[in-house]
Amino acid sequence: MELVCPAGNLPSLKIAVDNGADAVYFGFRDDTNARHFAGLNFNDRSAARGMEYARAHGVKLFVAINTYPQPSGWPRWTAAVDRTAELGADALIAADIGVMDYASRRHPRLPLHLSVQGSATSHEAIRFYAERFGIKRAVLPRVLSIRQVTQVVGNSPVPIEVFGFGSLCVMVEGRCLLSSYVTGKSPNTYGACSPASAVRWQETATAMETRLNGVLIDQFDRDESAGYPTVCKGRFRVRGNVYYAIEEPTSLNTLSLLPQLQKMGVSAIKIEGRQRNPAYVGRVARVMRAALDECRRDPDGFSPRAEWLSELGQVAEGTQTTLGAFHRSWQ
């Protein structure tokens, strides 16, 4: 299985390559990608330097243009597709039908991957994209059980990529409306869950508060790590109790499932985290590279090492991990 790692900047790209990534994915510095945060992503110069570094080490580069354009901004999305083709990227990761239509007609030699933002959860949906736009790979949303993933992989006309580690969201990818409810900007079209311009940290006499567009999202003790405020992972007062009312911060960790994923024919394991720092990218890439190599050598005898679990636990959101939807006892 191919290891696909995130890069929010050039240092992250290099450290992903150095720690065993088979492919690295990134986005441009605008709202065409789903990690549109200030200080992140690539301009033409850094993208070219990243391509040069990846090529020198035999690593593929994928460009994510995976938000949904509105009519007024359409030229930005077509320009991003053109830049991807000019860069010589190994694949364009897209979600919007219009973007895929433009890319397949204008740049037929540019391989297309269906983004997780496309929310294709069945082989019938994937077949539609393959027949209409010639996609070469599909990334599954993190809402399917192992049994469901097996069915999709077994019937899909193209190779399947699944997430192996990283932050989880209670919403179905490409369908989130929570942040737009609070900020007026949707992650599906603007590219950022909780735009930086709406984020505020405020220290009070007793705690640290995080707010989103003025709305109190969470309150942390002085010795408690204050996470980035998102509505779905905020703590709220409900019937007199304060707790994570929608979703508790946690990260997906599929180390124990690697033999199953390999056996069913999954083609690639993707790491979430273009918004995370280079140290995170390096640590996760190093652990997953070692695990994938060991799983390939001895799938029947494979077992996650304690040191791998410890390393990933230290960079997990909320310092805890889960199998997420992959493990549903009722299926």
pLDDT at residue 214, rounded to an integer:
92
Q: Which of 82-86, 169-173, 268-272 has the lowest mean pLDDT?
A: 169-173
The dihedral sign for the CA sequence 124, 138, 273, 26 = negative
CATH number for the domain whose boundaries are 2-168+250-326: 3.20.20.70
Over residues 174-202, mean pLDDT: 86
pLDDT of residue 282: 98
* Long-range contacts (CB closer than 8 Å, 24 or more residues apart) made by 299-304: 299/259, 299/262, 299/263, 300/259, 302/258, 302/259, 303/256, 304/255, 304/256
Is the alpha carbon torsion for 261, 3, 195, 99 positive or negative? Answer: negative
Amino acid at 119: S
Confidence tier at 317 by pLDDT (50, 70, 90): confident
Query: Taking all residues of the chain, what is their mean pLDDT, rounded to a whole number?
Result: 94
Q: What is the pLDDT of residues 106-137, one digit of tens each?
A: 999 999 999 999 999 999 999 999 999 999 99
Count of C-beta atoms within a 10 Å radius of residue 169: 19
pLDDT higher than 80, residue 174: no
Q: Which residues of 170-184 are buried (b: 16+ CB within 10 A; e: fewer)?
A: ebebbebebbbebbe
Can you give the residue ranges of every domain in the chain? 2-168+250-326, 188-244
Report pLDDT digits (tens) over 45-80: 999 999 999 999 999 999 999 999 999 999 999 999
* pLDDT higher than threshold 80 for residue 232: yes
Question: Is pLDDT at 172 greater than 80 in this prediction?
Answer: no
Between residues 304 and 245, the one the model is more confident about: 304
pLDDT band at 90 (very low <50, low <70, confident <90, very high): very high
CA-wise closest residue to 118 among 140, 146, 98: 140
The pLDDT confidence band at residue 331, using thresholds 50, 70 and 90, is: low
pLDDT of residue 60: 98
Other beta carbons within 10 Å of 329: 5
